[in-house]
Chains A and B, each alone.
Chain A
Amino acid sequence: MALSGMRGLSVFISDIRNCHNKEQERLRVDKELGNIRTRFKNEKGLSHYEKKKYVWKMLYIHMLGYDVDFGHMETVSLISAPKYPEKQVGYIVTSCLLNENNDFLRMVINTVRNDIIGRNETYQCLALTMVGNIGGKEFSESLAPDVQKLLISSSCRPVVRKKAALCLLRLYRKNPDVVNIDGWSDRMAQLLDERDLGVLTSVMSLFVSLVSNNAEAYWNCLPKCVRILERMARNQDIPQEYTYYGIPSPWLQVKAMRALQYFPTIEDPSARRALFEVLQRILMGTDVVKNVNKNNASHAVLFEALALVMHLDAEKEMMSQCVALLGKFIAVREPNIRYLGLENMSRMLLVTDVQDIIKRHQAQIITSLKDPDISIRRRALDLLYGMCDVTNAKEIVEELLQYLNTAEFAMREELALKAAILAEKFAPNLSWYVDVILQLIDKAGDFVSDDIWYRVVQFVTNNEDLQAYAAAKAREYLDKPALHETMVKVSAYLLGEYGHLLAQRPSCSPKELFTIINDRLPTVSSSTVAIIISAYAKILMHTQPPDAGLQQQILAIFKKHESYIDVEIQQRAVEYFELSRKGPALADVLAEMPKFPERESALLKKAEDAEVDTAEQSAIKLRSQQQSSSAIVVAAQPPVNGPAPAANHLTLVKMPSQNIAEESNVIHEETAVEAPKENGAPVEVQRNVEIITEPAPVSKVEPPASRPASQADLLADLLGPLAIEGPPAAVEQTPAQGLEANQSPVGDLALATLEDQSNSVQPIVNVEEKFNILCTKDSGVLYEDPNIQIGLKAEWRAHHGRLILFLGNKNTSPLLSLRALILPPSHFKVELSSVPDTIPPRAQVQIPVEVTNLRASRDVAVLDFSYKHGAALVNAKLRLPIVLHKFLQPITLSPEDFFAHWKTWNVQSLKVQEVVRGVKPLPIPEMASLLLSLHLAVTPGLDTNPNNMVACATFFSETTNAALCLVRVETDPQDRSQLRLTVASGDQNLTFELKEYIKEHLIDIPRARVAPPAAPQQAQLPPAAPATYNDPGAMLAGLL
């Protein structure tokens, strides 16, 4: 045997096995590595056989866990060896030792390709396997078509094709474009007709990956999948070699059912019927058998069928059948089945309304919480957490508390957190909640994060009924001889704050409270000392009438701590000492803590953050961010742990342009910083000594507030509202505020968005308002609904405009059948870049739009877009803010220039005048800024009458090139609701359109259609008076 003939390798392996300890082994390995290194250095004398032997040794050393950082070149070079055994070793060891980024791989890319396209089947297999294992982007680019050809070739044998399928999967993951070719889904459908089960198994893995990214494209394959399952379930045409303990390839069955779980539903009635028949057969026909392997294999299929049934949300009968099965599984002795039963029950809670049936198994699940196997305990904990509600919270939480005593360390933190959350969420009464948390701290103090005790403090502060109870409980705990430090913190805090409520009870006098807390002082860390010191100050304040002895004691402690090693405590001691000598001032500063604002539980957040699958949760986060931000935040939030969002061949950006992202960050930071202040909660960074002499109304030094800065984030959470809850109003500030109302006359057009009333998805922003904002700004949100956000960014240059539409998918599922069309009015040329069909989950696509302005017009382009979300087709028609003034550029003219033009255009229809009534009354400066927002530069000094304004701009269009426009507004100081508007330019159409456009912005009748220029109005005034004056002021004045 050629391979086993490598004596050197065998000897080396025996040597390693004979080593008595790790140290010996390391020495032996080092010796061998040294040997190989020297041999490789003088490569000349090295035969292929020797190289092969050394490379195997390297692999063995690598498997033992040692670094092998040389010899890679020699390994890779074996791929080019002429003989099969060397080539094979080269391919296999390269796959094991190198990763796709290794530069040496580039050297062999041609050899690999030649092997793949060559006629030698065995070489093809080797090359395909290596590329399938470590092929990178470059391989993907150069080999994909060849691999595809092999996969669909009818002349290739299955042995090659099955490897080609998985090789293609690798290349597809590196570059999704490789299957982005016409008719690929038909090819896939054909491949799923394959008879050879080896090929089919590989193809199915490829298929699962394809549908997981884009199920929509592969609808045609769905019936094929069902057909495969039927074939397996009926055991038709399954070669003996592919049955495993009598079960037709369980792996293929599992994969096929997995693939079906990526299709949202199965609509085709015959496929659905066939599939349910198969599923029914699996659910009913799987029995527990003696043979472990057979049992495992059949249950592998059964669990996959369960998952598929849950996904399809099948008929009620079938669902209850599943629940019944799961109920059976969680009670069996076999730990693997029990584990999977518990796991699937948790999943079931998410999809269907089976809470009540699952509750029947509560006792059984609690038993599993005490199982010797940690995997099972974890699942049981998860399930109990998921199934908990008001009815069973008490029981479950008490179970968890009890279990806390015996649970291993690895689980305690999770347990504590979950118990705390459930207690808070489902507390039948608040005192029970306090009991639970205090017990939790007592039993598992080390595993109780600060958030948990902060939360209980919040609760007690906000519920007056609870305060005395909590203080009394805290008092009880202090009687215990050994106490966790967190318990000391929470007790000291509660007694400081509410201890005075206990004054009437036995052994609760201020003095006694002080003494019992003071017993703990010598043994605690400085963060607790700080809390205790504050508690003393509060006790002192509450002691009425003052107790001189107690005061002496407490002041002595303050004095002593003035030189404490921790400056924070020094500061407190100094301040409290001074304050307590001031008497009444103390009461002001140390007033009871104000209530905390209601907010999301930090614990829940923490639990969510710890969740394994963060996709859904980050989508929620994303949504809440978007709602409070007007910036185009269509970012894909990379899940903390999960895989990066699927790469796609489209022009995707995962983050919006940098400045926008920053903008939104800034907003959040601001609210985060400001929030605590608004709240009166004392998170103060800067401390000034004046406070001592002049007590601020804010109780500045509450215990948890002045913790070290490293905990600022937690503090902000305890003491201030969440950043997300910060007032979103601040975000919406746009310079256009004054204009919005003015622009609404055009608003009737905005109703176009509502045209399709059948839309079940409604925008969550005011589309009209967004349009108006975008008329004056060049970037912002155009449209948003629960699924998609459309942002827009525009650049204007003369008569050209370039818009970029940002379509951001807010969901974790792709948006399909995306269509966008621009219906341009005749005066625009609009080029819309191709629109992708799909937006992957939480990704954003950019669609550039090129606009050319042909002539002046007030008509607006409409974006007609639609997409599919689930089964629903969402359609909206949105006006695009390509409005007339975007093609205007303000300019300033000298009086000479102005009047020269003004006079030459004294021709009917080049200069048009109109008295406009119903104008929104505005002071002159605001009117001027309104004109400026329309890109009309008001030129002061041209008109001497302070009630009048003259403005100029250049209008760009393809027909007129740069055309000068002159505007004059004459207001009536007696009646600000009317004015006279004169517009002049060298082009009739431009003059008319511009006049109408300005009028639309001046008139203050929201939603009413602007009346066409009314003849009677014009009749009341002489048409543009022929002006012959030379003095500018006099000339204009004469017009009025």
Chain B
Amino acid sequence: MQCSFVEHRNYKVVYRRYASLFFLVGVDNDENELAILEFIHLLVETMDRHFGNVCELDIMFHLEKVHFMLEEMVMNGCIVETSKQNILAPIQLMEKTS
């Protein structure tokens, strides 16, 4: 088992691996590392809820949707929303109307 935090210059990389997929977040020294680590998982769970059994291909070929989700979750390095329901609401609305 490896540590999920890698120090790099004055920053840290918090990363999480899901099979062959790596999720990386760069943070400064003022972040709570474990909270970020779980935020990665929150993103994965959110994608999972939307795509159902999310896999790499979902992310690859639905690039724009992942962007929409991230937009709902993070803004300028700060967490906006942590409720999956709220994160997904705009996307679901879009899909319904189209």
| Residue of B4, B5, B62, B82 touching A201 (CB-CB under 8 A) | B82
A775 to B10, alpha carbons, bound, how many Å? Answer: 48
For window 36-78 of B, CB contacts with A under 8 Å fall at 37-39, 41-42, 60-65, 67-68, 71, 75-76, 78
Residues on the B chain within 8 Å of A612, using CB:
10, 29
Contact status A198-B83, CB under 8 Å: yes
A249 CB-CB contact with B under 8 Å: yes
A132 to B72, alpha carbons, bound, how many Å? Answer: 12
Residues on the B chain within 8 Å of A303, using CB:
32, 34
Contact status A336-B34, CB under 8 Å: yes
Question: 1/0 contact trace for A642-682 toward B, CB 8 Å?
Answer: 10000000000000000000000000000000000000000
Contact status A162-B61, CB under 8 Å: no
A539 to chain B, nearest CB (A): 47
Interface residues of B, count at CB 8 A: 45
**Size band of the interface chain A makes with B:** 35 or more
A338 to B5, alpha carbons, bound, how many Å? Answer: 11
| Residue of B61, B71, B81 touching A198 (CB-CB under 8 A) | B81
**Chain-B contact segment, one of A370-378, A691-699, A990-998:** A370-378
Q: Are A244 and B38 CB-contacts (below 8 A) given A13-B61, A333-B1, A335-B2?
A: yes
A24 to B69, alpha carbons, bound, how many Å? Answer: 31
Contact status B68-A92, CB under 8 Å: yes
Contact status A335-B1, CB under 8 Å: yes
Most buried by B among A63, A239, A254: A254
A608 to chain B, nearest CB (A): 15
A170 CB-CB contact with B under 8 Å: yes
**Chain-B contact segment, one of A1-9, A527-535, A906-914:** A1-9
Question: 1/0 contact trace for A142-179 toward B, CB 8 Å?
Answer: 00000000000000000100110011011000000000
A170 to chain B, nearest CB (A): 5
Residues on the B chain within 8 Å of A258, using CB:
30, 32
| Residue of B4, B32, B38, B98 touching A1 (CB-CB under 8 A) | B98
Q: Are A339 and B83 CB-contacts (below 8 A) given A89-B64, A299-B34?
A: no
Residues on the B chain within 8 Å of A335, using CB:
1-4
A125 CB-CB contact with B under 8 Å: yes
Contact status A244-B42, CB under 8 Å: yes
B67 to chain A, nearest CB (A): 6
Contact status A162-B80, CB under 8 Å: yes
A221 to B21, alpha carbons, bound, how many Å? Answer: 42
Question: 1/0 contact trace for A73-117 toward B, CB 8 Å?
Answer: 000000000001100110010001000000000000000000000
Contact status B78-A202, CB under 8 Å: yes
B39 to chain A, nearest CB (A): 7
Residues on the A chain within 8 Å of B89, using CB:
159
A905 CB-CB contact with B under 8 Å: no
Residues on the B chain within 8 Å of A299, using CB:
34
Most buried by A among B33, B37, B61, B75: B75
For window 81-98 of B, CB contacts with A under 8 Å fall at 81-86, 89-90, 94-95, 98
A163 to B83, alpha carbons, bound, how many Å? Answer: 14
Contact status B7-A13, CB under 8 Å: no
B58 to chain A, nearest CB (A): 11
Most buried by B among A3, A258, A338, A339: A3
Contact status B35-A293, CB under 8 Å: no
A321 CB-CB contact with B under 8 Å: no
A297 CB-CB contact with B under 8 Å: yes
A926 CB-CB contact with B under 8 Å: no
Residues on the A chain within 8 Å of B79, using CB:
201-202, 205, 251, 255
Contact status B76-A133, CB under 8 Å: yes
A60 to B59, alpha carbons, bound, how many Å? Answer: 12
Task: Select from chain B the residue with minimum beta-carbon distance to A643.
Answer: B28
| Residue of B30, B35, B61, B90 touching A300 (CB-CB under 8 A) | B35
| Residue of A85, A254, A339 touching B3 (CB-CB under 8 A) | A339
Contact status A133-B75, CB under 8 Å: yes
A129 CB-CB contact with B under 8 Å: yes
Contact status A251-B35, CB under 8 Å: yes
Question: 1/0 contact trace for A575-586 toward B, CB 8 Å?
Answer: 000000000000
Contact status B82-A244, CB under 8 Å: yes
For window 622-638 of A, CB contacts with B under 8 Å fall at none
Residues on the B chain within 8 Å of A254, using CB:
32, 35
A897 CB-CB contact with B under 8 Å: no
| Residue of B1, B6, B29, B94 touching A375 (CB-CB under 8 A) | B6
Residues on the B chain within 8 Å of A89, using CB:
64
A122 CB-CB contact with B under 8 Å: yes
Give A residues with C-beta under 8 Å from B: 1-4, 9-10, 13, 17, 56, 59-60, 63, 84-85, 88-89, 92, 96, 122, 125, 129, 132-133, 159, 162-163, 166-167, 169-170, 197-198, 201-202, 205, 239, 241-242, 244, 249-252, 254-255, 258, 293, 296-297, 299-300, 303-304, 333-336, 338-340, 372-376, 378, 612-613, 641-642
- Besides A2-B94, A132-B76, A300-B32, 6 other A-B contacts (C-beta < 8 A): A13-B63, A60-B63, A96-B67, A197-B82, A303-B32, A339-B33
13 contacts between A and B (CB under 8 A): A3-B62, A17-B60, A59-B63, A92-B68, A166-B75, A166-B80, A198-B86, A202-B79, A202-B81, A255-B79, A372-B2, A375-B3, A642-B10
List 7 A-B pairs, minimum CB-CB distance, nearest first.
A300-B34, A241-B83, A2-B98, A205-B78, A300-B35, A335-B3, A375-B3
